[in-house]
Amino acid sequence: MTKNILIIPGDGIGQEVTVWGKAVLEQIGSIFNHQFSFSEGLMGHAAIEATGTPLPDETLEKARRSDAILFGAIGHAKYDNNPHLTVRPEQGLLQIRKELGLYANLRPIVLFDELLHASSLKPEVLKGTDILFFRELTGDVYFGEKYRSNDRNTASDLMIYHRYEIERIARKAYSAARTRRKRLCSVDKANVLESSRLWREVVQEISKEYPDVQTEHMFVDNAAMQLVKDPRRFDVILTANLFGDILTDEASQIAGSMGMLASASIGEGPGFFEPIHGSAHDIAGTDKANPLASILSAALLLDISLGLQEEGRLVMEAVRSVLKDGFRTIDIADPQTPADKIIGSGQMGRQVISRLQQLVIVT
């Protein structure tokens, strides 16, 4: 059976890293004899330049017809310091999440032992950390009503949640916790925000359906602190859109670098897989970007959307093997370890591809 995979490279380093995520999928296809059919779509700044809109209809149509989507990154420096621009690359990403009903964003914080020293946090604090974030992705201030007064001097973004939005992501997070260490920490700001009080109320109700999972509620400010103080205390973290956005960037430092973290967005339509890092225009075109987050996103795509668990595992093993041999892109290099071999994006991608083949022959 042919699986249709849409590749959306997006902007900046998104273009460079997605080449390797796709190459890994092609290699897996050829090793295991799967038929993957690839197409490409525009989104973000690249799409604005070509069509005037950040999410062209054509891309959305292709997305709806695909079995899974591999995305790169979005954004361009030209918009960051110019809040007056009304057409913005990020709108494309937010719109596709909404259109495809991708309400659950899974962000695994996987720490490869080989990278214990790449983090700015102490190895003894980090060792053994394994967290799975469930970030709600189609509600909250991201999609609530936006307002700017006529005199332009007052602005607001509505932080809004509906019961059903909390219920459906809570169930997904609890189901995942069941297959892990059976602990779920729900993060909110219920001491201040009404939407968080609804969040907590709903999570408390859903928790009764999962009596075997231990539930904890934590305020987001405390969670931000606990993540760097004692990350091992967490198993599944369930949280709202904005809190999840911020906490997962923080948590990426546990894994050594933003360049290591993959994510999966799932819900009603095809799954959408992307690194959590941004478009990093400052290093675009310099061969410095770390392609491993895209490659690990491809592993999640195989596992979650295509049901190919063994193939997903093989990709993880290939990454581990490259790291074990000391190959590092600059973002994960440890200045204290002279044995590290610092390589560029392209070399890192090629290393992973050749390992895939070798690991299959060995096993």
Nearest residue (CB) to ligand IPM, 276 versus 302:
276
Active site residue 249: yes
* One character per residue 86-115, x = contact with ligand IPM (rule: CB under 6 A): ----x--x----------------------
Give per-residue burial for 73-100: e unless 16+ CB within 10 Å, then b: bbbbeebeeeeeeeebbbbbbbebbeeb
- Residue 303 CB, shortest distance to Mg ion, in Å, is 22
- Window 240-269: residues binding Mg ion (CB under 5 A): 245
DSSP collapsed to 3 states, the chain: CEEEEEEEEECCHHHHHHHHHHHHHHHHHHHHCCEEEEEECCCCHHHHHHHCCCCCHHHHHHHHHCCEEEEEECCCHHHHCCCCCCCCHHHHHHHHHHHCCCCEEEEEEECCHHHCCCCCCCHHHHCCCEEEEEEECCCHHHCCCEEECCCCCCEEECCCCCHHHHHHHHHHHHHHHHCCCCEEEEEECCCCCHHHHHHHHHHHHHHCCCCCCEEEEEEHHHHHHHHHHCHHHCCEEEECHHHHHHHHHHHHCCCCCHHHCEEEEECCCCEEEEECCCCCCCCCCCCCCCCHHHHHHHHHHHHHHCCCHHHHHHHHHHHHHHHHCCEECHHHCCCCCCCCEECCHHHHHHHHHHHHHHHHHHC
Q: 90 vs 317, which CB is nearer to ligand IPM?
A: 90
- CB nearer to ligand IPM: give 90 or 130: 90
Catalytic residue status for 147: no
Nearer to ligand IPM, 245 or 287 (CB): 245
- Give the nearest residue (CB) to Mg ion: 245
Write down the catalytic residue from 3, 11, 142, 188: 142
101: Cβ–Cβ under 8 A, 6 or more apart, which residues? Answer: 138, 267, 268, 269
250 binds ligand IPM (CB under 6 A): no
Shortest Cβ 284–ligand IPM spacing (Å):
16
Question: Could you say which of 221, 230, 282, 325 is catalytic?
Answer: 221
Whether residue 142 lies in the annotated active site: yes
Structure tokens that stand for 133 in this block: 């974030």
Q: Which of 3, 22, 172, 189 is catalytic?
A: 189
74: contact with ligand IPM by CB under 6 A: yes
Q: How far is the CB of 267 from Mg ion (least distance, A)?
A: 18
Examine the residue annotation and report whether 340 is marked as an active-site residue of this protein: no
Residue (207 or 241) nearer to ligand IPM, CB: 241
If binding is defined by CB under 5 A, does position 90 make contact with Mg ion?
Answer: no
Which residue lies nearer to ligand IPM by CB, 216 or 245? 245
- 318-337 positions binding ligand IPM, by CB under 6 A: none
In angstroms and rounded to an integer, the radius of gyration of the C-alpha atoms of the chain is 20
- Smallest gap from Cβ 307 to ligand IPM, in A, equals 25
Out of 67, 157, 245, 317, name the contact with ligand IPM by CB under 6 A: 245
User: Number of residues in contact with Mg ion, rule: CB under 5 A?
Assistant: 1
Q: Which of 46, 170, 206, 276 binds ligand IPM (CB under 6 A)?
A: 276
Residues at the interface with ligand IPM (CB under 6 A): 74-75, 90, 93, 245, 276
Residues at the interface with Mg ion (CB under 5 A): 245
| Catalytic center residues | 142, 189, 221, 245, 249
